[in-house]
């Protein structure tokens, strides 16, 4: 073949490739616009399919039809997790409303300023307002009022999203059904399109699975466990809004260093200052020996050897992910950061000549 003919074929090939990339780009953008409303539902569906895949595998041992196994798994997830979640959410809304309605700001400020210990803390913090304790009290009062108004608005706004949330929930479980049923096929197709060596593909697949598993079991599940234990403890100690404080504990469990102590610690001090010595001691024992021990014992066992990222980066990626993507960002944030590190590793191996074959 003459050089001129080779050049012409090469030119035609490049032209076809660029035209193909042009149409793929346009169609990809249009598909993004069509499907972007369903990204959150699809993300949660992937999480559900991965996290509860062991249940699906267990059911498959007794039933050979994948569709029926997937349906049974989804029904079990709804019964065991969704119904309790809806009930607890409703209880939290009721208790939050009661707290906002019953709280007496002047009395709260008076309690803070008249308590000897808290009064000393206030005097130490008065430098914020130039040494004026009265101004600091007014600042606290304004901040508390603003926080409560914001909480009340969010609760009221939440009721308006009930229909939309219900639709997204149905869609999430519908998509999760197909991910369970045909997930292996989807994963194989995605891996086929990755332009990497086989070892790198396996590494990316494992990293993705590990991040989702550890974020769920090492984050969400531990948070639920800690919140449940504190909520039950509050209930038996006769403290109001036990469900709400259990929920606050679950949220606080994601705070580095402090964790669940951010809730049960101040609550124990409050009980002791109010003269409920026995209740305060019980809460300290439950909090220190059980709730916070879960972080120190159970979490390292779950994440050991699965995620090689510092906890501070996981925490920051969770916060950033939630800010950018909403609640699903809790999973997507660490996943994106982890995949970024994985791709850097692949690039380092490739440039350094140590790529996998």
**For residue 98, what are the domain limits?**
38-193
Task: Please report, to the nearest 10 degrees, the dihedral formed by the alpha carbons of residues 40, 43, 44, 47 taken in order.
Answer: -170
171 and 200: one domain?
no
Do 47 and 180 belong to one domain? yes
Q: End-to-end CA distance of the chain: give it in Å, rounded.
A: 33
- Residue 132 is assigned to a structural domain of this protein: yes
Look at the alpha carbons of 37, 38, 39, 43 in this order and tell me if their dihedral is positive or negative.
positive
Domain assignment present for 29: no
Same domain, 244 and 141: no
Instruction: Examine the domain organization and report whether 209 and 323 are in the same domain.
Output: yes
Question: What is the domain count for the chain?
Answer: 2
Helix (H) or strand (E) holding 57: helix 53-60
The verdict on residue 139 lying in a domain is yes
pLDDT at residue 355 in the model = 47
pLDDT confidence of residue 353? 54
Torsion sign over Cα 158, 164, 170, 174: negative
Domain contains 31: no
310 in a domain, yes or no? yes
- The whole-number pLDDT of residue 26 equals 92
**Cα–Cα distance between 303 and 328 in angstroms, integer?**
20
Please give the Cα distance from 310 to 65 (Å, whole number): 42
Max Cα–Cα distance, the chain, nearest Å: 98
Say how far apart CA 112 and CA 92 lie, in whole Å: 26
Report d(CA 206, CA 191) in Å as an integer.
Answer: 12
Q: 93 and 242: one domain?
A: no
Distance CA(314)–CA(335), nearest Å, equals 9
> Are residue 211 and residue 137 in the same domain, yes or no?
no
Distance (Å, whole) CA 17 – CA 12: 9
Same domain, 130 and 68: yes
Pair 214, 341 in one domain: yes
| Local confidence pLDDT in tens for the 357 residues of the chain | 566 666 566 777 777 778 888 888 898 888 888 888 888 788 888 888 888 888 888 888 888 888 888 899 999 888 888 777 777 777 777 777 666 666 655 666 666 556 666 666 666 655 554 555 555 556 656 666 666 556 555 555 554 455 667 778 888 888 889 888 887 787 777 777 777 777 777 777 777 777 777 777 777 788 888 888 888 888 888 887 788 888 888 887 777 667 788 888 888 888 888 788 888 888 888 888 888 777 777 766 666 656 666 666 777 777 788 777 777 777 778 778 877 877 777 777 766 655 444
Q: Say yes or no: 155 and 251 in one domain.
A: no
Domain stops at, among 138, 166, 193: 193
Q: Are residues 62 and 170 in the same domain?
A: yes
Q: Which two tokens stand for residue 126?
A: 């008065």
CA distance 49 to 62: 19
DSSP assignment letter at 255: S
| Residue 148 backbone class (left: φ over 0; alpha: ψ -120 to 50; beta: rest) | alpha
pLDDT at 306: 61
Among 137, 165, 193, residue at a domain's last position:
193
With CA atoms as reference, report the closest residue to 38 among 174, 220, 130: 174
Tell me the C-alpha distance between 236 and 243, whole Å.
12
Q: Compute the C-alpha angle 304/309/312, nearest 5°.
A: 110
Structure tokens at 16: 């076809």
Cβ pair 125, 136 in contact under 8 A = yes
Does 78 share its domain with 217? no
Q: Is residue 353 a part of any domain in this protein? A: yes
Predicted local distance difference test score (pLDDT) of residue 203: 77
Q: Is 20 domain-assigned?
A: no
The last residue of a domain, from among 193, 228, 257: 193
């Amino acid at each position: 073949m003459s050089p001129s003919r080779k050049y012409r074929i090469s030119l035609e090939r490049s032209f076809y490739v660029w035209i193909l990339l042009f149409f793929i780009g346009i169609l990809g953008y249009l598909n993004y616009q069509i499907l972007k409303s369903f990204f959150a539902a699809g993300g949660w569906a992937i999480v559900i399919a991965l996290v509860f895949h062991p249940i699906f595998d267990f059911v498959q041992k007794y039933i050979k039809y994948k569709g029926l196994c997937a349906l049974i798994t989804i029904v079990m997830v709804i019964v065991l997790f969704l119904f309790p979640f809806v009930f607890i959410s409703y209880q939290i809304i009721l208790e939050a409303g009661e707290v906002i309605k019953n709280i007496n700001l002047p009395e709260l400020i008076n309690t803070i300023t008249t308590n000897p210990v808290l009064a000393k803390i206030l005097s130490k913090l008065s430098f914020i307002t130039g040494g004026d304790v009265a101004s600091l009290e007014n600042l606290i009062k304004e901040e508390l009022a603003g926080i409560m108004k914001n909480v009340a608005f969010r609760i009221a706004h939440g009721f308006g999203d009930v229909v939309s949330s219900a639709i997204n929930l149905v869609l999430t479980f519908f998509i999760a059904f197909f991910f369970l049923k045909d997930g292996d096929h989807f994963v194989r197709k995605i891996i086929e399109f990755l332009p990497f060596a086989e070892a790198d593909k396996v590494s990316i697949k494992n990293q993705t699975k590990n991040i989702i598993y550890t974020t769920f079991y090492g984050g969400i599940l531990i948070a639920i466990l800690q919140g449940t234990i504190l909520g039950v403890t509050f209930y038996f100690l006769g403290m109001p809004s036990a469900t709400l404080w259990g929920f606050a504990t679950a949220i606080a469990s994601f705070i580095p260093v402090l964790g669940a102590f951010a809730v049960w610690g101040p609550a124990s001090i409050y009980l002791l200052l109010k003269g409920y010595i026995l209740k305060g001691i019980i809460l300290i024992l439950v909090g220190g020996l059980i709730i916070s021990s879960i972080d120190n014992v159970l979490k390292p066992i779950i994440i050991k050897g699965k995620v090689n990222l510092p906890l501070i980066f996981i925490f920051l990626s969770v916060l950033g992910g939630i800010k950018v993507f909403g609640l699903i960002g809790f999973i997507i944030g660490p996943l994106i950061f982890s995949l970024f590190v994985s791709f850097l590793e692949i690039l380092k191996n490739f440039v350094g000549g140590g790529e996998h074959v």
